[in-house]
Amino acid sequence: MAICSNCGESNPERASFCLNCGAPLPTAIPTRAVRKIVTIVFCDVTGFTGLGEELDPESLRAIMGRYFSAVSRVLQSHGGVVEKFIGDAVMAVFGVPKLHEDDALRAVRAAAEILDKLDDLNEELERGSGIRIAVRIGVNTGEVVAGDPSSGQTMVTGDAVNIAARLEQAASPGEILIGAPTFHLTKEAIDAKAIAPLGLRGKSQELEVFRLLAVHPGTPMLSRRMDSPLVGRRHELMLLKESFGRAARERSCHLFTMLGAAGVGKSRMAAEFLHDSDARVLWGRCLPYGEGITYYPIDEIVRDAADLRNDGGSEEAIAKIASLFDEHGEQEGRVLAQLLAQACGIRKVTTSREESAWAVRRLFEMLARKEPLIVVIDDLQWAEPTLLDLIEYVAEWSQDAPLLLLCMSRPELLDHRSGWAGGKLNVTSILLEPLTTTETEKLIENLLDGGLLDSEAKTLIAGAADGNPLFAEEMTRMLLEEGLLQRMSDGWVASGDLSRLSVPPSVQALLAARLEQLPEEEREIIESASVIGKIFWRSALIDLCGDSAVVSRGLMSLTRKELIRPERSNLIDDDAFSFRHILTRDAAYDSMPKETRSRQHERFAAWLAKQVT
């Protein structure tokens, strides 16, 4: 039985989405050991021995029960799994049973929220028992092996766990210390201060340590540079401008969806389009987890449109929303405002999906009739079915209003909405392909403020990025931070050995999280393919995976998901494929335990021997 983390509904094991609220269901714990990069949180009560001396055992037990319950709720609400309780300490893991690209940021946010929740708990404890609880927290990211449940070993093991525990022990009461890997993954979304390095027994080098100062709400883990010139995308940008032009001329609604892999440039292209537009723009973003996320983008849009601030009450907010409907009369405007406030959670009263959709449509129509309106909804792959239904409803039923619905999503959207808004005249969907090598090299020079980079280094970075703008940006940034690119009078030169160019942790997290979303059969196929190499063959995979039908079905699905592509085969009567991105191959290979890799290498060697005899 799968339990929905969003609403608590019990669902059958075969379900991928909650039958009650439509939220994605958690993936089952893997049936085999896997290597993965996770983030560990250790939280420990300070002065526990003193509490034991002051309090009756029953009172202490009750207080610690409330503490453990509060901490566990926070950790689980951010997607963490409480691994174990060790005396008065809690250990949680972010990244099991399923990886997320923002596990490090989730863990840091959870740690910060624990301190906030503890303040609330301490107020109650001080009134009732005259005591306060203080905690210290350590957070670290690193590679672990997640155990095989069939063997009874579900715990994660690895050096990252030991370092997280040591960070917690080194922290002062009320302090959160994070390791360097966690800091580098989250630095765009937090404020942190480097402190004295930490020496660990058995380690030759001291560890970089950072004290967490603040977490910026709503800031993503990765931010793109929007100041460098757009490279490529002329045809796609023309299609987008044509769609908006048609909506403006015909005073109609047009739904335009940009599909593309993470980092391929959807947000950058949208920013370029919006920069040249004189329309009003409202922006919302879907969240991958959290409470009340169904209408979160609508909430952002409504608050922006009505200029709402969080410090106002619900009645004040409703009045501001109602003022937007000045052409509809006071009574109708009040009704629409109440429905919107309910959908956004401003007013704690439930409303039907149909009423919410109707109110949102009327809001968009009213705003668009005053001036052309562009509504941007980002990260649509995280959207719940209710929001997808609402967008399609607005696109189909809006009238006499120049409105462009600009949606951006990864291709995973089509996994659970294969016919997304298809078959309609006012709908356009495009797939952003990777940049060409020439375009990628131009982008790299733009990222270096137009400075020339020696051809060898440029070719190396472009080859590793393989047409993905975000990957090129992250790799260039990493090389600059590590001092491997130096500015000279006539341009940039490599100041170190770039032949073993490592993958930035941010890119590793993106790739590993996407692979983790795959069904178990497809995950096994793509991992086996990574053993073969950049190019692989159907018959080889059948030998490695053992089931022809499963392999054929998996190859079709992985091709549709833009992870692999067909290649010209040099073997008669055999199909060849290649990874769309070599870094995907590397991520799949790195996720396999060494024992599994060795076994698959032996099987591939046996297949290869049969081809030459």
27-41, 472-486, 547-561: range with highest mean pLDDT? 547-561
pLDDT tens digits, one per residue of 45-58: 886 555 656 666 77
Q: 589 falls in which pLDDT band (50, 70, 90)? A: very high
- Extended beta strands in 147-290, E state: 156-157, 176-179, 190-198, 207-215, 253-259, 280-285
Could you write out the DSSP letters of every residue in 510-523?
HHHHHHHTS-HHHH
Q: 127 falls in which pLDDT band (50, 70, 90)? A: confident
Give the residue among 531, 471, 49 at the shortest CA–CA distance from 261: 471
CB 493 within 8 A of CB 479: no
Q: What is the pLDDT of residue 14?
A: 45
CA distance 154 to 245: 56
pLDDT tens digits, one per residue of 250-263: 999 999 999 998 88
Q: What is the pLDDT of residue 437?
A: 92
Q: What is the pLDDT of residue 225?
A: 62
**Mean pLDDT across 398-416:** 91
- Of the listed ranges 95-109, 125-139, 275-289, 426-440, the least confidently predicted one is 125-139
Is the per-residue pLDDT at 12 higher than 60?
Answer: no
What burial letters (b/e) apply to 296-330, b meaning 16+ CB within 10 Å? bbbbbbbbebbebeeeeeeeebbebbbebbeeeee
Residue labelled with tokens 């909650």: 18
**Mean pLDDT across 209-216:** 94
Is the per-residue pLDDT at 29 higher than 60?
Answer: no
Q: What is the pLDDT of residue 561?
A: 84
Q: 503 falls in which pLDDT band (50, 70, 90)? A: confident
Q: What is the mean pLDDT of the chain?
A: 85
Q: What is the pLDDT of residue 10?
A: 57
Q: What is the pLDDT of residue 101?
A: 87
End-to-end CA distance of the chain: 50
Is the per-residue pLDDT at 147 higher than 70?
Answer: no
Q: What is the pLDDT of residue 213?
A: 95
Class of domain 234-431: alpha beta
Give the residue among 265, 563, 586, 552 at the shortest CA–CA distance from 430: 265
CA separation (Å) from 123 to 72, 119, 167? 19, 6, 27
118-122, 230-234, 504-508: range with highest mean pLDDT? 230-234
Query: Phi, psi at residue 536, to the nearest 5°?
Result: -145, 165
Is the per-residue pLDDT at 194 higher than 90?
Answer: yes
Output 345 or 591, whichever has higher pLDDT.
591
**Mean pLDDT across 82-105:** 87
pLDDT > 70 fraction of the chain, expressed in percent and rounded: 88
Is the per-residue pLDDT at 612 higher than 90?
Answer: no
Q: DSSP 3-state assignment of 355? A: helix
Q: What angle do CA 579, 584, 587 make, to 5 degrees?
A: 140
pLDDT tens digits, one per residue of 163-188: 999 999 999 999 999 999 999 899 98
Q: What is the topology classification, in CATH, of domain 507-611?
A: Arc Repressor Mutant, subunit A (1.10.10)
Q: What is the pLDDT of residue 310?
A: 65
Output 517 or 175, whichever has higher pLDDT.
175
**Mean pLDDT across 131-147:** 88
Output 458 or 93, whichever has higher pLDDT.
93
CA distance 381 to 399: 27
CA distance 338 to 594: 58
pLDDT tens digits, one per residue of 382-397: 999 999 999 999 999 9
Query: Phi, psi at residue 182, to the nearest 5°?
Result: -65, -40
- Considering the domain 31-215, what is its CATH architecture? 2-Layer Sandwich (3.30)
Output 613 or 415, whichever has higher pLDDT.
415
CA distance 143 to 591: 10
CA distance 45 to 50: 11
Is the per-residue pLDDT at 152 higher than 50?
Answer: no
CB 141 within 8 A of CB 37: yes
Q: What is the pLDDT of residue 176?
A: 96
Q: Which amino acid is at 116?
A: D
Q: What is the pLDDT of residue 125?
A: 76
Q: What is the pLDDT of residue 149?
A: 46
Is the per-residue pLDDT at 422 higher than 90?
Answer: no
Output 546 or 111, whichever has higher pLDDT.
111
β-strands 89-94, 81-86 pairing: antiparallel
- Of the listed ranges 20-24, 228-232, 458-462, 471-475, the least confidently predicted one is 20-24
**Mean pLDDT across 584-607:** 91
Q: What angle do CA 79, 85, 87 make, to 5 degrees?
A: 150
